[in-house]
Structure 1
Amino acid sequence: MFKLRFTVYILLPALLSLVQLKSGCSFEMYSFDDTPGLGRVFDGIGAISGGGPNFGASFQIIKVEIGSDTQSTDGTESAHMRTPDEENYERGYEWWLMMEAKKRNPDIKLYGLPWGFPGWVGGSTGNIYDDPDRTSMYVVKWINGAKVHYNLTVDYVGIWNERMYNTTYIKTLRKNLDANGLQSTKIIAADYASWYSWETLTEEILADPQLAAAVYGIGVHHAETYSSASAIATGKPLWASEDYSTFNNQTGAGCWARTLNQNYVNGNLTGCIAWALITSWYFDLPYFGHGLMNAFEPWSGHYEVSSPIWATAHTTQFTRVGWKYLKHGSGVGKLTRGGSYVSLVSPDRKDFTIVIETMSYDGSLCFHPNISKWYEVSPQNITLVFDGNLAGITYMNSFFTQLHTAGEPTIFKPLAPMKVENDRLDLYLGVDQILTLTTLGHGRKGQHPRPPPSEPFLLPYTQDFENYSINEEPYLFAQQIGSFEVHQAGGSHGQVMRQMTLRMTVPFCNQTAAGITIIGNTNWTDIYGEADVYNEGTDASKGVFIAARVSKRGCKTNSSQGVFFFFYPEENAYQLAPTLDRGSILQGGYVRGVNKGWNNISLNIQGTTAVGKVNDEIVFTYSNLPYEPNQGFVAVGTGSLGYADFDNVKIMSPSGTYVP
């Protein structure tokens, strides 16, 4: 018998009229009954971040990148092992992110996945599967490092983001996890395309008992709410281990709500992870706005809590990992006039939650993947009929969302408890609605302070890197190739930003043998930038650069365009190039007055004219810059992969005034 835990709310007649009986219409009856047994175990909903329970999104899984110094969509993340005999568990921000997630929700599950690998992992061929022990131990050490240095237990680990898996490697990874006391870390295979994983991987699991024993669950990207008969036959948990990837407007909220329900209704998928939780990268980088909320102005503190956050909360605030779905036809299914419903019960059968969505085709289009088949949704009266252990419920708490209305949308609004009479509950459902009914007495739309107003990146900007921890990635710089971290240089320069990647990685994206980190505003046109640079010693890069109007970021960084001033102190030379790869050169020549050790380089851009200086002496004045690109970021970087130091970075307008 389920007992309602009342949540006290003021009665909201106007909202109740949206979801309760509308007279004069016929009713469709839907059974909710645990007598036929229960369905699959709910594994949770996640993203690449986490939140506290019963406040906001309340994610149950946080998935993080196992950094490798390689571009993974919008930037690079630092590797924990740049060579086979070197380990460092202070680099990167994922350790901090997982710690903060655990503070807010101690029960959140942690999931690690490589997007790429340091070059040494691929050996002489670049194939990470040539030596599965070497590759798996690189991953095992990251998982063990989380435990030893941060007391974090990594619950799940993947294979290789959106790249072909190897079954020998999967079995070897399981062997080495077990041998190093990490039996509790479960393998999700293989974070690859759904069409291939649902067919080929599942057939391999069915045919290979050792592989089946190694794999906990099958995770695919953008499953479009479906799996396959062979996937279901494995008996493994089935996940959309990457999903959503959609603009965070009301249509994105509709996409996410429909996906969360129909992943189980259509495909028996019990875990779902959004890419990405927060849009926390510069405007004009790839997939801008595809986080479930926005926080991309650290200089202003502005953020936006978008409607997909609350679409998530309709499920996560009223379920827990380990609950079970009811069976299809007895609490899970499609609504006759469009939409879907799922229901879950707690392991002790004391709590029960139903989530209903009625998303229209146009109101829930996903960016990736898009819905291919048109469908219709219309208003409908329904009757929920409770039987088995669910019989006897007298009231259910409820939360309601209405998207795509003429006025302001209603987002995750608590309603008064709904009365169940004679084991029946009559409801009227409109279009583009989400309704959660639950016996749980908690759940709330967490309140937050009004965000500071949005502001552009303000100039002048200066940075000397003295207020950072060693190994930290400096704020506002967004590394695109290579890894830029704060290190101690000694002498008058103290702490500096150093490019640390020495060789090509086993990549996720196309790459080039250079290092680059961007900063600022993609709309900057006329701009001045300067930096002190050091480019000497063992493993030093071949030259350094400062650049402006930099375009093409993310996985297209290898073909970045802009105005690049390359400086080669060992050769007393410079080059002015329109691209990072220097496929063509605008001008080049000899540089006088080059110092041994530190030098200062600057680049001044106005209209079609660029002026470059070394140690405050003009090296070139070039007055025929290409017309495109005529705006973009400022960047610093290296002419090849290798060490180089940057200090006292300054950015301002050519006249020293504010640049919008």
Structure 2
Amino acid sequence: MLSWHLMSAFYPQLPWWRCGLSRVDENGFETENAFHVLKYLLGHVKRGWKILREGSGRFEGGGTYVTFTDGKDLTVFVETMSYRNSLCEYSSPLPYSIQDLQIIDFQFLSPTPTGLNISLNFAHPQFLPLSPNFTIQFPLKSDSFGILTTLPITVPQKSTVSTPRLSLNYSDDFSSNYQYDDEPRFWIPQKGSWVVRDGRAVQKVTAPPISWCTSGVKTPYAVMAYPNKNAMLSADVMIPEDSGASSVILGLRSNCSGCDIESTNCRGIFVEIHFSTGKSTIFSDFVQRTEIAEVQTRRPIKHGSFYKLSIHLIDSHLLVKFGSHLLMTSVEIPENVLEKTNNDSLFVIGTGNFGISEWDNISTDQF
């Protein structure tokens, strides 16, 4: 769950974006509500405490309660979050209803404890004494959460941490502060294994058991995400002579990468440059390969040599550059492709048939 929180907090392309515990973007660091609710609860549950099965369940009007105890003290966590306001935490497949106001009664078997401290929705804590019939009663509105505990209650305060403004641009020449066989920074491969060697990012292994997923489609590799529609991706690429790869792929405005390409058909604007034929294909939809244009390179491309390749999307025009030479001056991207990828922002690099390749001086920009 924590891993999913970390991932979903950063990527708008994933379900439940900003449903994580915290996030970092170009505006700085911010903790989300889920983090403060978690701190609210865990601040009143000690290590080694167990869930009391008889003290946990569902309210008749909707919502749940869970009791934690060490046999001496106890903490009860209550919540009545509505379906609409709890999609992040629960993602229930079916809508449900919550009663606007409920009167909650907790029944105890003995006069111990004499009462509980209560705080709802981060409000100042109060003490609820046990009634003569060993019950505690309190009102609970919908979309509420809180704790009842024998411990003193500390209400967490939301704080803002000032951070330097994060750069929207990404670049790496794989030479600064890298040791031999270090993994490239900011990369999380879904297929294969990448290491840094001699100032280059090298695709080390391309087959199981290293492969992280088993999709039948030979997939590229995602780099980064930006919200702006105008973007640039540049890289120096070399396919070794003994590699099984025959082409290089650059892409932008993509909505997926790695394992999910096959199942989603992966939207985006992609350029595939074939080393053997010199043909370059611009296409959308990674599996179906909806072709937009096809051109021939103006110079030969050989295995074993580095080439600087870059793609620039400016409004509806895609420029593909081969070093200082243009593969084409401009390709008009169809309006339906631009509309379909308008909210997609992943950059993509890789080889057409998932062979060994080496990359250097990768950079992205948005404008």
User: Matches of 1:502 and 1:605 in 2, distance apart?
Assistant: 30
CA distance, structure 2, for counterparts of residue 453 and residue 322 of structure 1: 39
Note if 1:560 corresponds to 2:253. no
How far off is 1:437 after superposition? 1.4
Give yes or no for the alignment of 1:345 onto 2:69: yes
Distance 1:309 1:562, change over 3 A: closer
Corresponding letter in the other structure for 1:649: I
- Do the aligned partners of residues 293 and 333 (structure 1) sit closer, same or farther apart at CA in structure 2, a change above 3 Å counting? closer
Equivalences for residues 94-109 of structure 1 within 5 A: none
Q: Residue 572 and residue 368 in structure 1: after superposition, are their counterparts in 2 closer, same or farther (change >3 A)?
A: same
Matches within 5 A, 1:39-50: 47-49=1-3
The equivalent of 2:138 in structure 1 is: 427
Q: How does 1:69-468 map to 2 (within 5 A)?
A: 275-276=4-5, 279-283=8-12, 285-289=13-17, 291-297=19-25, 300=26, 302-320=28-46, 323-326=49-52, 328=54, 331-346=55-70, 349-360=71-82, 363-364=85-86, 368-374=91-97, 376-380=99-103, 382-388=104-110, 391-401=111-121, 412-420=122-130, 422=132, 423-441=134-152, 443-445=154-156, 448-452=159-163, 458-459=168-169, 461-467=170-176, 468=178
Aligned AA for 2:299?
A: R
- Cα gap change, 1:340 to 1:615, in 2 (>3 Å): closer
| Matching residue's letter, 1:291 | C
Matches within 5 A, 1:59-74: none
TM-score w.r.t. the length of structure 2 is 0.78
User: Which residue is 1:589 aligned to?
Assistant: 296
Who is 2:333 aligned against? 625
CA deviation digits over 1:217-275, x for unaligned, max 9? xxxxxxxxxxxxxxxxxxxxxxxxxxxxxxxxxxxxxxxxxxxxxxxxxxxxxxxxxx5
1:649 alignment partner, one of 338, 362, 366: 362
The verdict on how the C-alpha distance between 1:282 and 1:315 changes in structure 2, with shifts beyond 3 A counting, is closer
Distance 1:396 1:515 in 2: 57
SS at 1:387 equivalent: coil
> Deviation at 1:420?
3.8
1:643 partner SS: coil
Q: Secondary structure at the match of 1:623?
A: strand
Give SS of 1:319's match. coil
Match of 2:182 in 1: 471
Gaps of 5+ in 1: 1-46, 50-274, 402-411, 654-658
Q: CA deviation at 1:556?
A: 4.3
- Whether the aligned pair in 1 keeps the contact of 2:40 and 2:155 (CA below 8 Å) is no
Residues 323, 451 of structure 1: alpha-carbon distance in 2 compared, 3 angstrom cutoff: same
Contact 1:302–1:452 (8 Å) recurs in 2: yes
Cα distance in 1, alignment partners of residues 271 and 87 from structure 2: 44
**Aligned pairs (5 A) from 1:486-635:** 486-488=195-197, 490=198, 495-503=199-207, 510-525=215-230, 527-553=231-257, 556-558=260-262, 559-569=265-275, 571=276, 573-579=278-284, 580-581=286-287, 583-585=289-291, 586-594=293-301, 596-630=304-338, 631=342, 632-635=345-348
Cα distance in 1 for residues equivalent to 2:102 and 2:333: 60
CA-CA distance at 1:644 after TM superposition: 0.9
Q: State how many pairs are aligned.
A: 352
Task: Evaluate the alpha carbon distance shift between residue 446 and residue 614 of structure 1 in structure 2; reply closer, same or farther with a 3 A threshold.
Answer: same
**Secondary structure, in 3 states, of the residue corresponding to 1:545?**
strand
Higher share in strand:
2
Per the alignment, do residues 439 and 634 of structure 1 end up closer, same or farther by CA in structure 2, a change over 3 Å counting? same
Taking every aligned residue pair, what percent have the same amino acid on both sides?
Answer: 19
Instruction: Summarize the Cα distance change of 1:628–1:454 in structure 2 as closer, same or farther, 3 Å threshold.
Output: farther
Distance 1:293 1:278, change over 3 A: farther
Root-mean-square deviation over aligned CA pairs? 3.6
CA spacing shift, 1:360–1:581, aligned 2, 3 Å: closer
Q: Distance in 2 between matches of 1:484 and 1:616?
A: 31
Aligned-partner Cα distance in 2 for 1:446–1:278:
25
What is the distance in 2 between the residues matched to 1:625 and 1:383? 63
Contact 1:613 1:619 in 2 (8 A): yes
Q: What's the CA shift for 1:472?
A: 2.1
| Alignment check: 8 A CA contact 1:315 1:436 kept | yes
2:175 is paired with a residue whose SS is: coil
1:377/1:362 CA distance change after superposition, 3 Å: farther
Query: Could you tell me which amino acid in structure 2 is paired with residue 392 of structure 1?
Result: T
Q: How does 1:2-13 map to 2 (within 5 A)?
A: none
3-state DSSP of counterpart to 1:312: helix
Q: Match of 1:101?
A: none
Measured at CA, do residues 386 and 649 of structure 1 come closer, stay the same or move farther in structure 2, by a change above 3 Å? Answer: same
3-state secondary structure, aligned to 2:253: strand
Give the 3 Å change call, closer, same or farther, for CA 334–639 of structure 1 in structure 2.
Answer: closer
Structure 2 unaligned blocks of 5 or more: none
Shift of 1:509: 7.5
Q: Cα distance 1:511–1:504, how it changes in 2: closer, same or farther (>3 A)?
A: farther
Higher helix share: 1
Which amino acid is 1:474 matched to? R
CA drift at 1:287? 0.9
